[in-house]
């Protein structure tokens, strides 16, 4: 699905964490990091245990040079991923976190 279709779904009241995550990811890919942050934060408000949303939020924040917030997102995301057994996501966020901390 494209971003416009997803935004129309959201406008019709079909708000849920997966829709917000997908919209946030698409916004990030399109270079709309501020919008990505908004959607990803809402996804996490609705489902704070969604590790992929934490990872995408960290990326979006890092792209906006909001390093301290990105670090917090990655740390929280790693905690969530480890609890859920999402080993790959935890490893990826650890790599992104190390890169940010070197800056």
Domain segments of the chain as ranges: 3-102
CATH topology for 3-102 is 1.25.40
pLDDT for position 33: 98
What is the average per-residue pLDDT within 67-90? Answer: 96
Whether 15 has a pLDDT exceeding 90, the answer reads yes
pLDDT at 48: 97
Instruction: Answer yes or no: pTM beyond 0.75.
Output: yes
Tens of pLDDT, residue by residue over 39-52, are: 999 999 999 999 99
Q: What's the average model confidence in pLDDT over 31-40?
A: 98
Evaluate if residue 102 carries a pLDDT over 90.
Answer: no
Query: Using H for helix, E for strand and C for coil, what is the string for 62-100?
Result: HHCCCHHHHHHHHHHHHHHHHHHCCHHHHHHHHHHHHHH
């Amino acid at each position: 699905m494209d971003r416009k279709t997803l935004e129309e779904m959201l406008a019709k009241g079909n708000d849920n964490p997966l829709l917000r995550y997908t919209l946030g990811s698409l916004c990030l890919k399109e270079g709309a990091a501020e919008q990505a942050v908004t959607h990803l934060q809402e996804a996490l408000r609705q489902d704070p245990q969604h590790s992929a949303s934490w990872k995408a939020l960290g990326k979006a924040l890092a792209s906006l040079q909001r390093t301290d917030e990105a670090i917090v997102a990655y740390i929280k995301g790693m905690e969530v991923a480890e609890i859920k057994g999402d080993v790959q996501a935890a490893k990826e966020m650890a790599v992104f976190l190390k890169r940010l901390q070197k800056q």
